[in-house]
A and B are shown apart, each in its own frame.
Chain A
């Protein structure tokens, strides 16, 4: 069962899959979501950013609103005072006049307008006769002024002015400036009474609020800029704080990672915070005990190694004596009687077996102790196989087995431990000869850029599936009742498996009862480059008989020769 390294993005709804753009959006969304869910830092910074942003926005808006309001009210107050003064001054002027005919009324109006302009400090003045009075030809015409056309004044204001007697009325408007731009303004209206047949008029003075508007827009700009810098500053502040808060966690994570990677001497520094220091302390205690444990184990392993080495020496010396003695006796066996002859023969073969067993046992215990060191050198696999075949030729001949070696590749040197490779191949060939049932054995060698491989195929009795799973177990034999010709120790394949994996290689097996077995060794060309896939196929084609396989080989040979 494979454990996925990362969770897949959630399935997207159907319509999103239809178009590449949506798919991209979906992918980006999924990536962002993953990042969001996996990073507390990101979430903290986002939340803080959004909340402070809203706060700045709200307070900025309120500030702008209240400043604007205040500016408007102040200006309005001033405007009302100005216009009231102007209107009173104008009324006084009118009251003092005795103008009765149209010409004098007209000139009076002109004088009055000049006066209003002066006192109100506004150029925009309009004069509207209150309707419903007796018609008089002498009465001055309704007149606006540049910047204040009559149409701007709302009916509502006119009605109010017409109805009211002494008070002022005002209205907010949009005024057209001379340059075509528009600005906010206030129109203040009040009643004037003309002498003679003039009657009642509404005096309308407009004031531009463009000054206030400018001030307000300046305030707005300032607010915007301040808000922007405040956001920036806050962002930095949050970032710094988050870093500050998360730094101990990052340190802890990094330290754990290094510890996990095998650096047993790393420790977490104190962080200047109670909780984190407690964490550091516990972590460091854990690391200490871990390191001690590892050291203990290393010591045990060293002891084990020394023990193996001592046992090796202690057992080998007497065995050497026995071996020498046995061989001296064996050389003289022809001088002994039949029983003595056979005894020395048995002694001779069993000493050999004992020796192999001891060698294998020591080898496997060396693997168990982890005290195996590789001695890699550029190694030619084809040459090793040929040497191994030569070495086993007499044994194969005795078993009636012909060994066919087909080397499609493997001629280039690979970084291997030749002693171990030799041992594996010797072992596989030995097994094939022993279980080959006098049928040919096919050895295939091939390679690709990252790996070299060899298969050893026999057409013997084969094994059941249960057997193939146990074939690399120690002291396991496929069929205990079968006779042994080579007299293997039962450790051969177990050692071969260790030999292969110690070099980063694989050793696997295919077998079927009645069809024979195929062992495949795959080794990396360079120790630090992974194999990828094996250059050779382990399982033969279904229903392929030995004759088919051999014919195929013959065809290949012919093809290769031509």
Chain B
């Protein structure tokens, strides 16, 4: 009995590209499900329960950003956007809608697979079972965050980001360092990824996102976790 292959939902209206992506991913040992219509993407997701979604931005019916928002309402599944545009607005809109990462067309197979692998790999932070930050408790094994008895829903990426910061509360992480640890970028990448996801994380975990105490900004350097509050 082999271990089940991770499955990936590819939402793209260009069948040639979908097929080609399928060939590449299958070659890497992933199962693939395809959907070429924005309106059917949610159904396809519910039906196939993939481990990761590759989402084109420009789609007939619902566009990628709308699908992303809807998906985030019901799941924290890793989402990687496929975008043809490097324009700020598109990328930022996608990230703000909840996409974990993005790949700019034309991408090469190595790049795509590297991005998928990082998102599917469990957090590599070696820490105890329970980590505390501010008034929050992170259950590392159960991938849960609690404030007192209240459970806070985070996507795996957001959990990973918070855990990375919280595991070394005395350390200030630069955006580049976070890109490397959380997103797996070895080279200089888009720091907007960090900015947008820190904002999203704060919106969920901070009591007052304008006065953050869990994830604090160190001006000109980066971010650090807030002190533990009893």
Contacts and interface: CB of A to CB of B under 8 A. Distances in A.
Interface of A: 309, 312-313, 316-325, 327-328, 331, 355, 373, 375, 378, 387, 413
A316 B20 contact: no
B84 interface: yes
12 contacts: A316-B105, A318-B14, A320-B17, A320-B106, A320-B107, A327-B108, A327-B109, A328-B20, A328-B24, A328-B109, A375-B88, A378-B220
B106 A309 contact: no
A324 B84 contact: no
Nearest to A371: B87
A321 B20 CA distance: 6
A321 B17 CA distance: 5
B22 to A, nearest CB: 10
Contacts of B108: 323-324, 327
B23 interface: yes
Contact of B188 (A312, A331, A387): A387
Given A309-B87, A325-B20, A328-B23, A319 B106 contact: yes
B58 A327 contact: no
A320 B24 CA distance: 12
B21 interface: yes
A328 B108 CA distance: 9
Interface of B: 14, 16-17, 20-21, 23-24, 27, 58, 82, 84-85, 87-88, 105-110, 112, 188, 220
A311 to B, nearest CB: 10
Contacts of B112: 324
Nearest to A325: B20
A490 B169 CA distance: 49
A328 B21 CA distance: 10
A243 B1 CA distance: 98
A324 B87 contact: no
A370 to B, nearest CB: 14
A316 B88 contact: no
Contacts of A317: 14, 17, 84, 105
A316 B110 CA distance: 18
A318 B58 CA distance: 14
Nearest to B23: A328
Nearest to A377: B191
Given A309-B85, A309-B87, A387-B188, A318 B109 contact: no
Contact of B84 (A312, A321, A328): A312
Most buried by A among B17, B87, B106: B106
B13 to A, nearest CB: 9
Given A324-B108, A373-B88, 18 more contacts: A309-B85, A313-B58, A319-B106, A320-B17, A320-B106, A321-B17, A322-B106, A323-B106, A323-B107, A324-B17, A324-B21, A324-B23, A324-B112, A328-B20, A328-B23, A328-B27, A331-B109, A413-B220
Contacts of A373: 88
B85 A320 contact: no
Contacts of B110: 327
Nearest to B89: A373
B198 to A, nearest CB: 15
Nearest to B57: A313
Contacts of B87: 309
Nearest to B190: A419
A418 to B, nearest CB: 9
A368 to B, nearest CB: 15
A312 to B, nearest CB: 6
A312 B16 CA distance: 17
A322 B21 CA distance: 11
Nearest to A372: B87
A559 B109 CA distance: 50
Contact of A316 (B21, B106, B188): B106
A318 B16 contact: yes
A317 B106 CA distance: 7
Nearest to B14: A317
B27 A355 contact: no
A511 to B, nearest CB: 31
Contacts of A375: 88
A215 B17 CA distance: 114
A331 B4 CA distance: 26
B213 to A, nearest CB: 25
